[in-house]
Structure 1
């Protein structure tokens, strides 16, 4: 069950990142004028999708607290790096962001690091 809490933390976190990117992309360029900047941010903060990402951040925190009751931090925290892996794949899928060789090698190193750190 403790690994399920980590998985939920990762999934809620990744959802929030993808939704924020999507909605910010739809909102357009960040304005230059100070008043327009405030209006831009307030509009995003009231956006139901953005609010859902905040709700998921809260759920991620709750899931993480549950995981921390069961596992040592030094064991559990490296698994959070899987969020990088999921975000890269989903950003390539949804936003057509490039998956370069350097990014791929970096993700392989992240996964190898998780495997090594989870062993001891």
Structure 2
């Protein structure tokens, strides 16, 4: 496997992970608040677990694991794993766009530090 393919697999892992998180958040928002009553809570969670969109989020997580395993056949873990921190940046900015969550200056500083860590951590 060529190394550029391995990097594409890492990127695919990140994108599948992020898309799964967005799907879960979208469906949880649609489902409403978690009920206080234990039996209602169980029914609520079972309904979510059987939701096709939630199942597709689980499928995305599974596929992310598959692409990660494929990438690991070519890349060192200590080199590739820092790149998965891109999920943090994508989730923060995607959440702002899709769910109107705030992007505060402190979050931006944190993301800059994470990206700097990715750059430094994935060297060599």
Aligned residues: 120
Does 1:29 pair with 2:37?
A: no
The gaps in structure 2 that reach 5 residues or longer are: none
1:75 aligns with 79
2:58 aligns with 54
After TM superposition, give the deviation of residue 119 of structure 1 in Å: 1.9
Matching residue within 42, 45, 49 for 2:49: 45
Deviation string 1:66-98 (CA, Å, 9 cap, x unpaired) is: 011010100000000000000001100011000
The gaps in structure 1 that reach 5 residues or longer are: none
* TM score, norm. by length of structure 2: 0.95
After TM superposition, give the deviation of residue 7 of structure 1 in Å: 0.5
* TM score, norm. by length of structure 1: 0.98
Matching residue within 107, 112, 115 for 1:108: 112
